Amino acid sequence: MQVSVETTNGLERRMTVEIPRERIDLEVKNRLKSLSGKVKMSGFRPGKVPFKVVEKQYGGKVHQEVVGDLMQSSFYEAVTQEKLRPAGMPHIVPRELADGDKDFGYTATFEVYPEFKVTDLDKMVVEKPVTAINDADVDKVVEVIRKQRVEWKPVEREAKDGDRVTLDFDGYIDGEVFQGGSGKQMAVEIGAKRMIPGFEDQLVGIKADEERELSLSFPDTYHAKELAGKPVTFKVKATLVEESELPELNEDFAKAMGVEEGGIDAFRQQVRDNMAREADQSLKSKIKDNVLEALLKHVPLDVPKSLIDNEVSSLIKQQKEQQGMQDTDINAQAMEEQARRRVALGLILSEIVAENDIKVEPAKVREIVESVASGYEKSEEVVKYYYSDKSRLAEVENFALEQQVVDWVLSQANVNEAEVPFDSIMNRG
């Protein structure tokens, strides 16, 4: 078998393979001999059909099968011989085997995996955010928790910012009530910015049983396109004005939050501990993103288009399953960059794993599973859930291995620690 390879463009290769005709003829003859012992044909006893008759009847079909099988097997022989790593399926074009041809040949066009090394990681800079939780951070979270348990009490005064107004309303566009523009006994918190701009502001000063007309416009970016940018009038009638009353930070409040002993100090410590756990998870995620971004910049490489196409198909399938989307709703082109990034990172991480013999640590897997399980009441059942199914556990193992690679890269890279506020880490402003 003769093989020649040429580079056509980037990672694309065109390989020409020549197979001696004798190899094909021998295989065809062997298959026909095997067939003649099994074939049934009118006028002949089973297994006694003459070879020439079998050859005439089945020769063309067998020849086709042999050529197809040899193209497949010889392709993998050839790429092994030439030390090539095909990415994706090859496009094979056979040359017709005519009478008198000495050899059978075909060309196979395919992409190969890029050849690269991940080196000089000490020259790669990775930003590593760190944070410290101070009393002011805890105060903010405690205040959020208090607001979540707010009580509303009726007042007989004019509504002001922060109050809640219960009202009936009808919305008019061009003098007509529009679909979805009416409501009964709807509670609106002034200043919460849940209504269209101006709606809540114009409720300031209203009293129970008072009627008003609000002249507004829907934003140009409003989700309902038929309403976007249009002027609207709301006729409203307030039925109730309430003010908020936050619970006091005392022992009763702590007990209501599940802290039986230690009062508010113990509650604040619990809040701080929860904040620390959340921050730790968020920091790990941000550091991982920074490491991956740094690797992409540090190790530029061509990515086989066939692998990108496969990844796009995978992303489309995910969107369909998760969101119930149709093909017409999916922009495959918009996914291409995401797919390219995922493939490139997969290649880089695989190279790091192979070159440094990084193996998944069972202790790391256990740690991740128990961390997930800790958020559930019956954590031991969650642990069993993962360890009872190999496919579920494999997902955790892949995640653990990826984290081990990130940790290894951090140990090699030039790491710059940068202190950032807790709110920033948690994307709270």
Distance between alpha carbon 239 and the CA centroid of its chain, in Å? 47
Residues 158 and 102 in one domain: no
Residue 125 located in a structural domain: no
The enclosing domain of 217 has a CATH number of: 3.10.50.40
Locus of tokens 């105060």: 139
Cα–Cα distance, 59 to 33 (Å, whole number): 11
The enclosing domain of 63 has a CATH number of: 3.30.70.1050
Residue 124 located in a structural domain: no
pLDDT given for residue 239 in this prediction: 96
Residues 265 and 412 in one domain: yes
Q: Given 112, 142, 177, which residue is the final one in a domain?
A: 112
Q: Which residue has the higher pLDDT, 324 or 353?
A: 353
User: Do residues 247 and 390 lie in contact, with contact meaning Cβ atoms separated by under 8 Å?
Assistant: no
Provide the H-helix boundaries in 82-202.
135-148
Closest CA to 295 of 130, 415, 409: 409
Give the total number of structural domains in the chain: 3
3-state secondary structure 20-34: EHHHHHHHHHHHHHH
User: In one letter, which amino acid is 218?
Assistant: F
Cα–Cα distance, 208 to 211 (Å, whole number): 9
Q: Would you call 201 exposed, middle or buried from its count of C-beta atoms within 10 A (0-12, 13-18, 19+)?
A: middle
Residue 82 neighbours by CB under 8 Å, 6+ apart = 3, 5, 15
Residues 169 and 205 in one domain: yes
Residues 290 and 392 in one domain: yes
Residue 117 located in a structural domain: no
The enclosing domain of 421 has a CATH number of: 1.10.3120.10
Query: CA distances (Å), 249 to each of 139, 146, 147, 270, in order?
Result: 11, 8, 12, 14
Residues 212 and 107 in one domain: no
Instruction: Please name every residue paired with 245 in a beta bridge, in sequence order, or none if there are none.
Output: 151
Lowest mean pLDDT, pick from 41-45, 198-202, 263-267 = 41-45
Question: For the segment 255-269, what is each residue's pLDDT rounded down to a tens digit?
Answer: 999 999 999 999 999
- Say whether pLDDT at 429 is over 60: no
Query: Domain limits at 357?
Result: 253-425
- Say whether pLDDT at 328 is over 60: no
Reported confidence tier of residue 372, pLDDT bands at 50, 70, 90 = confident
- Say whether pLDDT at 292 is over 80: yes
Question: For the segment 74-85, what is each residue's pLDDT rounded down to a tens digit?
Answer: 999 999 999 999
Angle in degrees, CA 355, 358, 364, rounded to 5: 165
Residue 268 located in a structural domain: yes
Provide the H-helix boundaries in 208-361.
251-256, 263-298, 305-323, 336-356
- Say whether pLDDT at 281 is over 70: yes
Mean pLDDT of 306-322: 87
Locus of tokens 């042999």: 66
Residues 296 and 219 in one domain: no
Question: For the segment 330-346, what is each residue's pLDDT rounded down to a tens digit?
Answer: 677 778 999 999 999 99
pLDDT given for residue 420 in this prediction: 92
User: Do residues 343 and 307 lie in contact, with contact meaning Cβ atoms separated by under 8 Å?
Assistant: yes
Closest CA to 307 of 4, 12, 5: 12
Question: For the segment 377-389, what is each residue's pLDDT rounded down to a tens digit?
Answer: 888 999 999 999 9
Residue 205 located in a structural domain: yes
Q: Given 245, 262, 291, which residue is the final one in a domain?
A: 245
Residues 48 and 195 in one domain: no
Q: 88 in helix, strand or coil?
A: strand
pLDDT given for residue 327 in this prediction: 59
pLDDT given for residue 333 in this prediction: 77
pLDDT given for residue 124 in this prediction: 96
Q: 130 in helix, strand or coil?
A: strand
- Say whether pLDDT at 17 is over 60: yes
Mean pLDDT of 177-186: 93
- Say whether pLDDT at 285 is over 80: yes
Residues 78 and 207 in one domain: no
Residue 216 neighbours by CB under 8 Å, 6+ apart = 196, 197, 198, 199, 202, 231, 232, 233, 234
Residue 213 located in a structural domain: yes
Residue 349 located in a structural domain: yes
Residues 58 and 184 in one domain: no
Closest CA to 240 of 182, 308, 187, 319: 187
pLDDT given for residue 401 in this prediction: 94
Q: Report, in angstroms and rounded to the nearest whole number, the Rg of the chain calculated over CA atoms.
A: 35
Residues 259 and 231 in one domain: no
pLDDT given for residue 428 in this prediction: 61
Residues 266 and 344 in one domain: yes
Residue 137 located in a structural domain: no
Q: Which residue has the higher pLDDT, 376 or 182?
A: 182
Residues 239 and 325 in one domain: no
Q: Given 245, 279, 295, which residue is the final one in a domain?
A: 245
- Say whether pLDDT at 304 is over 80: yes
Strands (DSSP E) found in 131-230? 151-154, 164-173, 176-189, 211-217
Q: Which two tokens stand for residue 405?
A: 């690679």
Summary mean pLDDT of the chain: 91
Closest CA to 106 of 96, 119, 118, 121: 96
Mean pLDDT of 109-113: 96
Cα–Cα distance, 413 to 8 (Å, whole number): 36
Question: For the segment 374-420, what is each residue's pLDDT rounded down to a tens digit?
Answer: 878 888 999 999 999 999 999 999 999 999 999 999 999 999 999 99
Question: For the segment 119-169, what is each residue's pLDDT rounded down to a tens digit?
Answer: 999 999 999 999 999 999 999 999 999 999 999 999 999 999 999 999 999
pLDDT given for residue 409 in this prediction: 96
